[in-house]
Every structure is written in C-alpha cells, then in structure tokens.
A and B are shown apart, each in its own frame.
Chain A
Amino acid sequence: MTHALTLCRDALDRLMPMHLCLSDDGTIRFAGPTMRKLIPQGAQQAGDVFVGTSSHAQGCVMSLIRAAVAGQRLSLRLRHHPQLVLRGHVVAPGFGTLLLDLGFGVTLSDAVAVLGLTENDFAPTGLALELMFLQEANRAIQGELARFNRHLMLARQDAEREAHTDPLTGILNRRGLLAALRQMLDPRDGQPFAVVHLDLDNFKQVNDRLGHPVGDQLLKEVARILGRMTRSHDHAARLGGDEFVLVLGGNWSCQTLDGMGMRIIRGIEQLSPGDCKVSASLGIVLSAGYGPNDIDRLLADSDVALYASKRGGKGRVSVAPQPVDCAVRPHQGP
C-alpha cells in the first residue's frame, strides 16, 4: 500500500488557492488562482515576485525558500506591494519542484484592500473572513464607544460647570470659589494672590423699596463690574445674598489694593438705583502664609477685614494684617 497521493491542479487550486509551484532554480511553473493575482505580468522567477523581508536577506529569495524546506516558517515580501508580507511554508514533492503555500498573515486587510480580493479568493478553512469581520466589528464598537465617552465627558463638564456657577449672575458660586482657592493654594501652583471679600451696603433697601427684580438686576450689574476686574487667572464669585469674593493673582501691595478697592466701590455706587445710596464694604487678605488646608481661615480672615470696613462706616477698604509667621514682603504691584 502506497501513501503517496497525486492531486491534479484543479484540486490544488481549490485546496490551496495561494500555492506556488517553482522549479529548483526558481522558475515559476504554476500557481493557485489567488497567488496568480499577486504575480506581476511577465514574471518568470520567484525573485520577480518576492524580496526577502529583512535587508540582509535581499537578493537571495531562492536560498530563503530552499532553507525553509527543512520546516521553518517562510516569510516573503511582495516586490510590487512592499507593505504586504506573506508567510507560509514549503515542501519539496520531488520532480525537481518546490511547492509553497502562503497566506497574508497580519497584512491581510491591507492585501484585501490593495488587491480587491473577495470571499472566493480564500479557502473555506482559512479564517480570513472571520478576521476581517472581527476587525470591523471592533472598529465599529470602538468608534461608538469613543462617541459615547465624548458625550458623557461633555455632559460631565456641563454638570460640573453648572455646579460651580451662580445661576443669577453667571459668575462662580461658593462651591466654585472653594475649588478655585484649592487650586490656587496648591503649593505646586505657588503664585501669590489677594482675596477681596465684598458686601453691598444698603442693599436690603433696594429689595424692600424697589422690589426683588430691581435687586436682582443690581446684583447682576455688580457681578459684571467684578467680572471686568478679573483677568484670565482671576476669579469672581457670589457667595449668596449680596456677598461677593474676588480672587486676584499677583504680588499686590496695600496701596494698589486700596486704590483698586476704591474704584470698585465708586463703580458700584454709580449703579445705585433710586436714592438707595448703595455702596460696598471690602475686606482684603493676601495669600502669603496660608496653605492648602487654610481656606476656611483665609475666608474667615477676609470676613473679619470686611467687618472692620462695615464698622468703620461702610464704603471703605480694609486690608488684613499679614500673619505673624510670614516674612515681611516688599509691597509691589502685580
């Protein structure tokens, strides 16, 4: 009983559409239907179709193929489509021939795109179609997830912005102010700043005599004035009622702060509706000497300075004394 099997070329074509039969000297004898799509017109030799995959193996395609007869994996680059690397194996069935069977490996989807291959170009045993199916399914899901994540991120940003914003005036609320102060007191940030605590004088009269809509309008205009005072790294916040806070980055001197505070007060006085004589009292604290865990103390100290202004007759500015443990700094403008 013999264990040899003779296959006609039709059977080879169906079983291995990417086979290639060479003579020992590298001359192409015949090829499977898919392999024929890879062989350029007029190609006679294996070297006309392939190059080695690494630079040192160039020019000796046949020695690579012969070496692989022993059982190693063969890897060949297409000469005319260098992005496509074929892998496969080779047997020597006798009669002075070498029989190669090759596949596209990881360059499959490139090969399908470049060569316009169809389902019929692959043997049903191969996983080419399943691989392409999976690749497309993965891409579709990834794209959809990316869109979904972006949607969630935008929604979160909106929610965060809303949670940090005072709905009446559009400037920060208390929560937003605390977040800003936490960031500015972070030692890695390290920039000095001033906290200006502001409370309107005689505001209650506006609400009582002219009604809440006029009071609300005034609060919005005060917020607009304070908003105009802030630069890109400064913050303006409304803590509720007629109480506002400005956080101004920079190394401020008492005189500069005093002058700026008075400008704010004059600006607010000009907004005063009717004869309500609305003005503002300011308490200012410099950030030197406060650490990241001292936000409450910082705001309490600015509140003390604010009440010093109130007690001193309203419509004025008080700057809190620097904490004793803080080195004396030269007073300079920002």
Chain B
Amino acid sequence: MRELVSRAIERFLQSESSYLVESDLLPPDVMLRTAARDLQKPLDELVEDLGAWLVRQNEIWRLLRFCGSDFLDFLLRLDELPERMRLVTDDIAFPEIALTRGKDGLVWVTLESGSPRWSALLSGLLRAMADDYGALCVITRGDDGIRIDVSDLDFAEARTFRLSARTAAP
C-alpha cells in the first residue's frame, strides 16, 4: 500500500508540473518536500493541490462520492472517512476527524493528531469535492482546523454519479 501511495504522489508531481521525479519510490514526505523546494512552492500549498488532484482520479472520485449524496451530507459524514479507509487498508495511519457545527451554520473540521499535512490534504480535497457537488462555499485552513462556510449547496450542477461503475456515463 505504501508503494501505491508513493506512486500516486509520483504521478501527481509529474502531472502537476512535468516535474521530474526519481522513480525509486521515495517516502511520500521526502518526495513532496523535495518537489516543494524545487518548485519554490510552500509545502502545504503543494499538498493541497495533491488533495484536489486525488479527486480528479476517477477511481478515487467514485469512492469519495459514495460517502455523501450532496456536499453537506459528505461534509457531515466526513468523520466516517478514517473508518472507511480502515475498511480498505490497515496500512495507512489516517488521523481521526472531528466535526463541529456552529449555530451560524459554519462547519469546523479538526484532525486528531493536528497534523498540518493531513489538514492541507483534506482542505484541497474538500475544495475539489465542493466543486464536484456544485456547492458554493468558503474553505479556510487555520492552525486549529478547517472552517467551511457553505453558502449555496446547489450553486452549480453536480457531476453525475451513478452507484454502478458499469452504467455508462451520460
């Protein structure tokens, strides 16, 4: 599984910037750190791009769309995500996700271990998923979590998702 993660990151870096990656499958953080330095981009920004790139990979996109019928549903069930990951593999230590919903409708997402990388990855992923569901929202990443302010769930048409991968896309 680790090799697959490294390979995904390798492919992301290649697609992002035609960045030349050593193909010897270095650990993910080493690859990302080196690439961020070479591309003169803040590491967290690169990791956010990785989160958005993941959503553009068809298989991963489909798995994510299984997790919610619209963006709010997806958001409010985000705390299921680590458990879903563990259904699939024990090999990735995914931090627990906690959700709080304020009276003002704001959703706060906090990660258990407070890892800034996971937080960056998740905010990139959330931005891309909001786009995918056609929701309009403001996503702000702070030191203590991610703040999501959903202003319009049906701002644009959601990308069509069918439960069966075998049904032809429109």
- Give the residues from 12 to 43 in chain B that come closer than 8 angstroms, CB to CB, to chain A: none
Chain A residues with CB below 8 A from B66, complex form: 129, 132-133, 136
Chain A residues with CB below 8 A from B7, complex form: 144, 148
Q: Does A332 contact B (CB under 8 A)?
A: no
A304-B60 Cα distance, complex, nearest whole Å: 66
Q: Does A138 contact B (CB under 8 A)?
A: yes
Across the interface, do B89 and A136 meet the contact criterion of CB distance under 8 Å? no
Q: Does A153 contact B (CB under 8 A)?
A: no
Partner among A109, A112, A129, A136 whose Cβ is within 8 Å of the Cβ of B62: A136
A141-B1 Cα distance, complex, nearest whole Å: 8
Partner among A113, A117, A134, A136 whose Cβ is within 8 Å of the Cβ of B59: A136
Chain B residues with CB below 8 A from A132, complex form: 66, 163-164
Chain B residues with CB below 8 A from A137, complex form: 63, 87-88
Q: Does B84 contact A (CB under 8 A)?
A: yes
User: Chain A, 138-164, contact with B by CB distance < 8 Å: what is the 0/1 string?
Assistant: 111101110010000000000000000
User: Chain A, 299-329, contact with B by CB distance < 8 Å: what is the 0/1 string?
Assistant: 0000000000000000000000000000000
Which residue of chain B is the closest to A111 with respect to CB atoms?
Answer: B164
Please count how many residues in chain A sit with their CB below 8 Å of the partner chain's CB atoms. Answer: 23
A145-B59 Cα distance, complex, nearest whole Å: 14
Known contacts A136-B63, A136-B66, A145-B4; is-contact A130 B165 (Cβ 8 Å)? no
Chain B residues with CB below 8 A from A139, complex form: 59
Which residue of chain A is the closest to B64 with respect to CB atoms?
Answer: A133
Across the interface, do B87 and A119 meet the contact criterion of CB distance under 8 Å? no
Across the interface, do A134 and B88 meet the contact criterion of CB distance under 8 Å? yes
Across the interface, do B88 and A129 meet the contact criterion of CB distance under 8 Å? no
Across the interface, do A112 and B164 meet the contact criterion of CB distance under 8 Å? yes
Q: Does A116 contact B (CB under 8 A)?
A: yes
A143-B165 Cα distance, complex, nearest whole Å: 15
- Give the residues from 66 to 117 in chain A that come closer than 8 angstroms, CB to CB, to chain B: 109, 112-113, 116-117
* Min CB–CB distance B22 → chain A (angstroms): 14
A109-B165 Cα distance, complex, nearest whole Å: 9
Q: Does A54 contact B (CB under 8 A)?
A: no
* Min CB–CB distance B26 → chain A (angstroms): 15
Q: Does B159 contact A (CB under 8 A)?
A: no
Q: Does A118 contact B (CB under 8 A)?
A: yes
A147-B142 Cα distance, complex, nearest whole Å: 38
A74-B88 Cα distance, complex, nearest whole Å: 31
Across the interface, do B166 and A133 meet the contact criterion of CB distance under 8 Å? no
A116-B165 Cα distance, complex, nearest whole Å: 11
Partner among A129, A134, A140, A141 whose Cβ is within 8 Å of the Cβ of B163: A129
* Min CB–CB distance B143 → chain A (angstroms): 32
Chain B residues with CB below 8 A from A109, complex form: 164, 166
Partner among B4, B62, B69, B164 whose Cβ is within 8 Å of the Cβ of A141: B4
Q: Does B162 contact A (CB under 8 A)?
A: yes
Chain B residues with CB below 8 A from A148, complex form: 3-4, 7
Chain B residues with CB below 8 A from A136, complex form: 59, 62-63, 66, 165
Which residue of chain A is the closest to B73 with respect to CB atoms?
Answer: A119
Across the interface, do B88 and A119 meet the contact criterion of CB distance under 8 Å? no
* Min CB–CB distance A117 → chain B (angstroms): 6
A178-B164 Cα distance, complex, nearest whole Å: 54
Across the interface, do A134 and B164 meet the contact criterion of CB distance under 8 Å? no
A144-B4 Cα distance, complex, nearest whole Å: 7
Across the interface, do B164 and A138 meet the contact criterion of CB distance under 8 Å? no
A141-B8 Cα distance, complex, nearest whole Å: 12
Across the interface, do A113 and B166 meet the contact criterion of CB distance under 8 Å? yes
A114-B67 Cα distance, complex, nearest whole Å: 22
- Give the residues from 176 to 195 in chain A that come closer than 8 angstroms, CB to CB, to chain B: none
- Give the residues from 63 to 110 in chain B that come closer than 8 angstroms, CB to CB, to chain A: 63, 66-67, 69, 84, 87-89
Chain A residues with CB below 8 A from B60, complex form: 140
Partner among A116, A120, A134, A140 whose Cβ is within 8 Å of the Cβ of B162: A116
A4-B63 Cα distance, complex, nearest whole Å: 42
Known contacts A136-B66, A141-B4, A148-B7; is-contact A118 B163 (Cβ 8 Å)? yes
A138-B67 Cα distance, complex, nearest whole Å: 16
Residues of A within 8 A of B (CB): 109, 112-113, 116-120, 129-130, 132-134, 136-141, 143-145, 148
Residues of B within 8 A of A (CB): 1, 3-4, 7, 59-60, 62-63, 66-67, 69, 84, 87-89, 162-167
Beyond contacts A116-B164, A145-B4, A148-B4: 6 other A-B pairs, Cβ-Cβ < 8 A, are A113-B166, A129-B66, A132-B164, A137-B88, A140-B63, A148-B7
Residue pairs across A and B with Cβ atoms less than 8 A apart, 17 shown, are A113-B164, A116-B167, A117-B164, A118-B163, A119-B69, A129-B66, A132-B66, A133-B63, A133-B67, A133-B87, A136-B66, A136-B165, A137-B63, A138-B88, A140-B60, A141-B88, A148-B7
